[in-house]
Amino acid sequence: MIAGTVNARLEAEVRLKVRGHSGAEAEVPVLIDTGFTGTLALPATVTTDLALAPLSGGSAQLADGTTRRFDTFKAAIEWNGVWRGVVASVLGDEAFLGMALLSGLQLRVEVVPGGAVEVGALPWSDGE
């Protein structure tokens, strides 16, 4: 399980270890963004500090309808104790965890300042 807290602005936040191909690591505070369908967005400073390997760029339509170009990078994150390769996008000055990383998992958020944030396995269901 990945755990975090809700900040004073009522944003669900977790901390992820991010690693570049050279082995440099950083623990990065990451906001969970249910409107972001990608995997991970990192600030340019993190991609530079960790010397992340650049990939091709892309473009996305933002919530306000505008289209924006962005750069992508190869990174690894520690996800439930296992290092996992991801494509990280640079979309601004904050880090975001998107729905692609949450696919197949359960997100539980106590939406109060200091509330618990948990990302974990879906409970077993008998189909009811």
Q: Does residue 68 lie in a domain region?
A: yes
Any domain includes 127: no
Beta-bridge partner residues of 15: 29
Is residue 24 situated within a structural domain? yes
Q: What are phi and psi of 14, to 5 degrees?
A: -130, 165
pTM: 0.86
CB 19 within 8 A of CB 76: yes
From first to last of its 128 residues, what are the pLDDT tens digits of the chain? 999 999 999 999 999 999 998 999 999 999 999 999 899 999 999 999 999 999 987 787 777 888 888 899 999 999 989 999 999 999 889 999 999 999 999 999 999 999 999 999 988 655 44
Range of the domain at 69: 2-121
CA dihedral 47, 107, 121, 77 (to 10 degrees): 10
The per-residue pLDDT for 43 is 96
Q: How far apart are CA 72 and CA 25, in angstroms?
A: 18
Residue 128 belongs to some domain of the structure: no
Which residue bears the tokens 């880090």?
A: 95
Residue 34 lies in a domain: yes
Count CA atoms within 13 Å of residue 74 on its CB side.
8
